[in-house]
Amino acid sequence: MAYSIALHAGAADSWAGDSGIQEKTEAFLQCLIDSAKAQLRNGESSLKVVTEVVSALEDYPQFNAGKGSALNNDGFHELEAAVIDGRTCRYRAAGCLQRTKNPIKLAHKMLDFPAPALVIGSAADELAETNGLDMVENSYFTTESRRLYWEAKMNKLVENHGTVGAVALDTQGNLAAANSTGGVTFKHRGRIGDTAIVGAGIYADDRVAVVCSGSGDAILQATVAGRAAAAARSGTELNDAVEKAILKSAELYPDSSCGVIAVDISGSISIHCNSRIFAVASASSFQHSGQAGIVRSTIPILNQLTIFEDEKIKAGMVKYPTFPNQIVVHPRSGKPVLPLKAEAFVDFFIQLRRVVQKVQSFYQASDIAFITSGDSPSTFIFPLLLSPTSTDITFKDGNHTTTRPLNNGHSADFHYVADKLIKVKIHRPEKTRLFSTELQQYSQTILEIWGILQVLSQEVGPDAARPQLEVHPQRKGLVTILLTDPRPSLFPRPAIFCDSLPEYLTAELGPKATDMITLGRLAGEAAKYLTSSSS
């Protein structure tokens, strides 16, 4: 029989910690998912496995659940958790806990009794104590980083959310879901979010199991888990059901972020988020080994930020920009652009040219910068309102260049540093800006770029697996393929937002836009213009 499990440790727009904390966190998630997979493979029930997984996540101080939970506006902790046995649809939850060490264990213990389904406050702690669960002082949940954050952000409006959770299918065909959280920082005393509410942040039945993380009040009001489950039960493919539920939540509450993990009766797993990052892990009988890590947003374009779409591509304003008015373009296939076959590669860039020209006209931009990377389907457009000063990437001594002739009047400079290929600059026969070039010449240039990418994959091998392709006005309009990123990655922290064109472009996500409602209005104006303007 098939089995599957997915867990999460919080969807968020920020990240606290250095690379060492990231490595330890990902290693912990990997060990946890491997252990859970072994339990399911050996016939353990999904209900027991999700409970134990969430309990372990509660004990890990990096996450906003159990130890390490957020502090409320009075400076103490109130925790909540819920569990659902999909086989029977029995749901139990507890909220506003202040002394129960592992809230998920209380929710699980409550399944032994016919009622109550939900208990909150001191009565919930008393129930845990009466049933012999581990009790602690409220200060147990406080970590130094949480306390320092609370003190630093006092009297400031913040959105610091996070949850932990798991969904699983066992070998008997039973589904289960579990969720736990410390809630949002500075939450009102007594506040209950989505995590413990069935149909909001958690849902499971005999067909699908879903848990959510992110902006709890938005998820609660948008009933994200129930919405996704209802769509999946109605025949919508699981991934599509989850994505549509997240997009609907974002439409209703534009400033919110959400991450969702789900498993269905066939063992399919869906992991989606419109938050900047999502700490997740998954494993199944269909995978050789479990996978764990911190992933970036899987939904690059929100409905309310869409400015153009047809059967081949979709374009929209960027929720996490690194430059003003930044646009993202996505192929409908969802496949990375640079590895595409020649015909599909040229076709995408022809579609991209249409969007670029319309965006440039909408903004009355003097020029357009552009970047895409080898492992991502996202292509970013940067409209420039002022023409930048020409410059170029410089390297240390010891570099040399070889030039190779290409077809149709093109040529390529291969730049080496210490005999390692760093970048390729493609010269075009015409002096106009790339996206302003006549279509036939433009198509020839795109085909030459594709040819260079094939050469790199053969000559450089794995080092060419993740190149960056950019058109940077400061490089005098040349098309550049970078094999070494000159701009160090800050991930999982956001990339730096720049008010003026930076020396190096990035395909990473920056901080969240400060005013999502205004950004949505601008996207609406751009969409109206792009729709009405001629092709």
For the sheet with 269-273, list strands across it: 202-204, 208-214, 258-264, 269-273
Single-letter amino acid, residue 44 = E
Long-range contacts of 296-301 (CB under 8 A, 24+ apart): 296/491, 296/508, 296/509, 297/273, 297/509, 298/243, 298/271, 298/272, 298/273, 298/274, 299/243, 299/246, 299/247, 299/272, 299/273, 299/274, 300/328, 300/330, 300/378, 301/328, 301/330
Which 3 state secondary structure label does DSSP give 217? helix
Counting every residue, how long is the chain? 535
Would you state the structure tokens that stand for residue 440, as one six-digit string?
């036939």
Whether the CB-CB separation of 64 and 70 falls below 8 Å is answered with yes
From CA 17, how far away is CA 14, in angstroms rounded? 10
Q: Tokens 């064109």 correspond to what residue? A: 501
Whether the CB-CB separation of 319 and 512 falls below 8 Å is answered with yes
Single-letter amino acid, residue 236 = T
- Where are the alpha helices (H) located in 60-187, listed in sequence order? 103-109, 122-130, 144-152
Which 3 state secondary structure label does DSSP give 533? coil
- Give me the residues paired with residue 8 across strands: 165, 280
163 catalytic? Reply is yes
If you ran DSSP here, which 8-state letter would residue 102 be given? -
Whether the CB-CB separation of 517 and 253 falls below 8 Å is answered with no
The one catalytic residue among 163, 181, 322, 379: 163
Single-letter amino acid, residue 123 = A
Q: Tokens 């502090």 correspond to what residue? A: 71
From CA 359, how far away is CA 383, in angstroms rounded? 7
Torsion angles phi and psi, residue 349, rounded to 5: -70, -25
Element (H, E) at 216: helix 216-222
Whether the CB-CB separation of 530 and 349 falls below 8 Å is answered with no
Would you state the structure tokens that stand for residue 299, as one six-digit string?
């939904």
Whether the CB-CB separation of 445 and 431 falls below 8 Å is answered with no
Angle at 505 between CA 533 and CA 21, to 5 degrees: 125
Q: Tokens 């393929």 correspond to what residue? A: 481
Distance of CA 230 to the CA centre of its chain: 23
From CA 506, how far away is CA 470, in angstroms rounded? 9
Distances in Å between the Cα of 99 and the Cα atoms of 57, 82, 127, 313 are: 17, 16, 11, 52
Residues with active-site annotation = 163
